[in-house]
């Protein structure tokens, strides 16, 4: 047995989270694409079958009350809250990340008030955030200015209304400094919206602790909510009364069943709701969140760093020099739970990896992405992935 | 046996659509709330189990291509198209009705161009449309003017940019004259957005035939898509290149996986997409649409009118005079597939009805609503509902 294989065995044997893998439906594929679509939690199929067959099929309309459908967006928000360091009552689930970015950014600009007419957006963002920020700017009379996250502090000024940032870069896996950037935005009198898609469920976020204003995120990556499962919106408690939604659907009304012609916003996080919640997807997500029972995010972070460290070590030993280039920062403080490697023929290499049972993904034009979900990825998986990568690049 | 009971028996025996009831999971409850949440189609549970267990659980990320997840919004849009009189390529499924109203109304105002700065909205609308219209007006610099649908022709003018109307009123069940109102809006040089929530699946809509510009609708009422199933957006083919979305998420990009920093809209209906589609709910809807196999919408409309006619006859004979007041127009041309009765103690009456196995719903402050889904409601159900109503109002 090679040195790395035996190292993997030792790491797996000492892994306190190893047993969590049994909470998922997995096979002998090394699944390193949980940063795109999390694996299926074992409890989800039975729960979904109950929602469809009994709650919808038998109780039908009564389920809006009796099965807790109506309150699902805020109830599930409260399940996500501890995973991102938020007290209850500040998160609602629903709509896509894109739609929530629009709500949050427009609301942030409105909070900033007159005289502040510029939105800063992460220039390296997953594109949808930039597209939506452009629309939010256009519709609120703001200018949009793309800047690299590291340049945000120097770009802030009296005109800055809002700043949209990614906690972890989708492409490189770089972790940005949420506490420092949030403090810088606040020092300039502006509001910050954090996109947590690539960090929630993989590392501690500390929304409350760091005084974040607004945040959004998807639930189908490290939260394992299923394909296209609804996103969420965090509005810090003391800002909720000033949250002025551009999508004031009836679910956000103070009296949704009053059928009032005039809009009056609800109190609290509920103000972030829009239309009728998507129950099947939402309750699948609720069941998926059961896998977090008794799992501290800090332990997840520790294992995540150990996994990515070990992957970098294995890649360093197995893959011929110069064949791939590391895009993810080596420093722990700057690394999310993904490793991105630049590779000229990344598309072809990823095809060969997948054929050989190692599933990551390819991002145009030349990036191999490998996501490490600490709940179900082990160190032997990591060693195998690097070994197969070495074969695939030859 | 009473005359009405035997009349019901004859009507059921002659009903060519009677066998369709077997395509649904039903019990001995008379379910007259399909205008709020349609009953469960029998094929849905197995399909959802496959989507969860095999497509997500086994294929995981590969399903975006291999299971047709990525193209689901337009594929399922094409399944809805014939039910609302639209040729293929003009409907995408996704997001809530409220979000789609926002997209459609903002896009309509942008099509109308400079100099047109007023939005007309149905003053009797289901509230969310009015709330969202107010936001769309605010964000496009328009004035919002609520008018009764009958007064729309006289309210139209050179300043009118867009008009948002409901095909069937959610409260009274009144069917508005889509062809005439659409023609009036066009004669004024404005754009019309129709909300089809309470008509699609219950009667012919004729979107293409009548030259409708934009339309939205939910899928959980007469289309039986399940609780909170995704809504849809229709953009007439010749307007698609001018559809300028306020929610230009990455799914609407010409090259969504190109990860381009600059937004470039896709061609066609796909331009109405926003973020990652909600796959579980969307594929449940796709399975639900199988119940329409071989069912002409015209036959559904004929049965719908026969059911509501018969309900009115039974109520007239059974319910003591003056106890309820008909809010739904008697004329066929003005009636959707629902009967609304005003009743002082409607909330209590509906509770008693539900206790006795007849499920309609209550809308504040004083309306009893009964929806008649022709695919699974029969004439004996109708007679029983009226009979139980007569007992419940005593």
pLDDT tens across A19-45, in order? 999 999 999 999 999 999 999 999 999
CB contact under 8 A, A257 and B134: no
Those residues with Cβ within 8 angstroms of residue B355's Cβ, 6 or more apart along the chain or in another chain:
none
pLDDT at residue B1, as a whole number:
64
pLDDT in tens, A231-243: 999 999 999 999 9
CB contact under 8 A, B228 and A99: no
CB contact under 8 A, A278 and B277: no
CB contact under 8 A, B248 and A132: yes
B250 vs A31, A64, A131: nearest CB:
A131
Query: How far is A63 from chain B, CA to nearest CA, in Å?
Result: 9
CB contact under 8 A, B250 and A60: no
B contacts of A56 (beta carbons < 8 Å): 37, 40, 226-227
Interface size A-B, in CB pairs within 8 Å, comes to 251
B131 vs A228, A249, A258: nearest CB:
A249
pLDDT at A18 over 80: yes
CB contact under 8 A, A45 and B64: no
Angle between helices A346-355 and A379-392 (to 10 degrees): 120
**Which residues of B are identified as catalytic?**
126, 195, 220-221, 369
**A276 annotated as ligand-binding:** yes
DSSP string, A111-156: HH-TT--EEEEETTS-HHHHHHHHHHHHHHT-EEEEE-GGGHHHH-
The residue in chain A having the minimum alpha-carbon distance to the alpha carbon of residue B230 is: A278
Q: How far apart are the first and last CA of chain B?
A: 22
A60 vs B37, B135, B246: nearest CB:
B37
A249 vs B37, B98, B281: nearest CB:
B98
**B253 annotated as ligand-binding:** no
Which of the residues B40, B103, B134, B249 would you substitute to probe the A interface, choosing the one with the greatest number of A C-beta atoms within 10 Å? B249
The residue in chain B having the minimum alpha-carbon distance to the alpha carbon of residue A245 is: B135
- Among residues A344, A310, A308, A307, which one has the least CA distance to residue A325? A344
The residue in chain A having the minimum alpha-carbon distance to the alpha carbon of residue B42 is: A57
Query: How far is A85 from chain B, CA to nearest CA, in Å?
Result: 25
pLDDT at residue A364, as a whole number:
87
pLDDT at A1 over 70: no
ipTM for this prediction: 0.97
**pLDDT tens per residue across all 394 residues of chain B:** 689 999 999 999 999 999 999 999 999 999 999 999 999 999 999 999 999 999 999 999 999 999 999 999 999 999 999 999 999 999 999 999 999 999 999 999 999 999 999 999 999 888 899 999 999 999 999 999 999 999 999 999 999 999 999 999 999 999 999 999 999 999 999 999 999 999 999 999 999 999 999 999 999 999 999 999 999 999 999 999 999 999 999 999 999 998 888 999 999 999 999 999 999 999 999 999 999 999 999 999 999 999 999 999 999 999 999 999 999 999 999 999 999 999 999 999 999 999 999 999 999 899 999 999 999 999 999 999 999 999 999 8
What tokens appear for B262 in the block?
């600059």
Element (H, E) at A91: strand A91-93
Q: Are B224 and B38 in contact (CB under 8 A)?
A: yes
Whole-number mean pLDDT of chain A?
97
Angle between helices B379-392 and B3-14 (to 10 degrees): 150
Q: Using CA atoms, how far apart are residues A128 and B246, in angstroms rounded to an integer?
A: 13
For residue A41, what is the DSSP state? B
pLDDT in tens, A280-316: 999 999 999 999 999 999 999 999 999 999 999 999 9
Strands (E), A265-366: 325-326, 338-342, 358-359, 361-363
pLDDT in tens, A201-228: 999 999 999 999 999 999 999 999 999 9
The residue in chain A having the minimum alpha-carbon distance to the alpha carbon of residue B122 is: A261
**Which residues of A are identified as catalytic?**
126, 195, 220-221, 369
Q: Using CA atoms, how far apart are residues B89 and B270, in angstroms rounded to an integer?
A: 8
The average pLDDT across A64-75 equals 98
Those residues with Cβ within 8 angstroms of residue A218's Cβ, 6 or more apart along the chain or in another chain:
A96, A97, A197, A225, A229, A231, B276
Q: Are A246 and B135 in contact (CB under 8 A)?
A: yes
**How confident is residue A252, by pLDDT bands cut at 50, 70 and 90?**
very high
Q: Which domains does chain B have, with CATH numbers?
A: 3-17+296-392 (3.90.1150.10), 48-292 (3.40.640.10)
**A227 annotated as ligand-binding:** no
CB neighbours (10 Å) of residue A300?
Answer: 23
């Amino acid at each position: 047995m090679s040195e790395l294989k035996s190292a993997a065995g030792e790491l797996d044997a000492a892994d306190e989270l190893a047993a969590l893998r049994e909470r998922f439906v997995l096979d002998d594929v090394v699944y390193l694409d949980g940063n795109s679509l999390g694996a299926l939690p074992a409890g989800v199929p039975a729960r979904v079958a109950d929602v469809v067959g009994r709650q919808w099929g038998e109780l039908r309309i009564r389920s809006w009350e009796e099965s807790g459908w109506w309150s699902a967006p805020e109830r599930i928000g409260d399940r996500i809250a501890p995973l991102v360091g938020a007290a209850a009552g500040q998160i609602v689930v629903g709509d896509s990340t894109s739609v929530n970015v629009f709500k949050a950014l427009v609301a942030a600009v409105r909070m900033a008030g007159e005289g502040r007419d510029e939105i800063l957006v992460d220039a390296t963002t997953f594109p949808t955030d930039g597209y939506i920020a452009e629309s939010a700017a256009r519709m609120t009379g703001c200018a949009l200015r793309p800047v690299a996250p590291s340049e945000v502090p120097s770009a802030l000024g009296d005109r800055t209304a809002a700043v949209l940032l990614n906690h972890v870069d989708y492409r490189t896996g770089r972790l940005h400094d949420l506490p420092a950037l949030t403090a810088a935005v606040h020092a300039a009198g502006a509001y910050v919206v954090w996109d947590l898609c690539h960090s929630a469920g993989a590392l501690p976020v500390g929304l409350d602790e760091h005084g974040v204003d607004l945040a959004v995120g998807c639930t189908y990556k490290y939260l394992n909510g299923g394909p296209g499962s609804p996103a969420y919106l965090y509005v810090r408690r003391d800002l909720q009364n000033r949250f002025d939604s551009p999508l004031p659907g009836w679910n956000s009304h103070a009296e949704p069943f009053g059928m009032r012609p005039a809009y009056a916003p609800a109190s609290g996080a509920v103000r972030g709701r829009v239309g009728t919640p998507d129950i099947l997807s939402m309750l699948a997500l609720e069941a998926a969140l059961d896998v977090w029972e008794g799992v501290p995010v800090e332990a997840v972070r520790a294992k995540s760093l150990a996994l990515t460290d070990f992957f970098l070590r294995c890649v360093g030993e197995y893959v011929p020099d110069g064949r791939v280039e590391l895009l993810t920062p080596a420093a722990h403080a700057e690394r999310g739970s993904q490793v991105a490697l630049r590779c000229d023929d990344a598309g072809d290499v990823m095809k060969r990896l997948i054929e050989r049972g190692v599933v990551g993904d390819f991002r145009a034009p030349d990036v191999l992405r490998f996501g490490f979900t600490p709940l179900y990825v082990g160190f032997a998986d990591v060693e195998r992935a690097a070994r197969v990568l070495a074969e695939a690049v030859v």
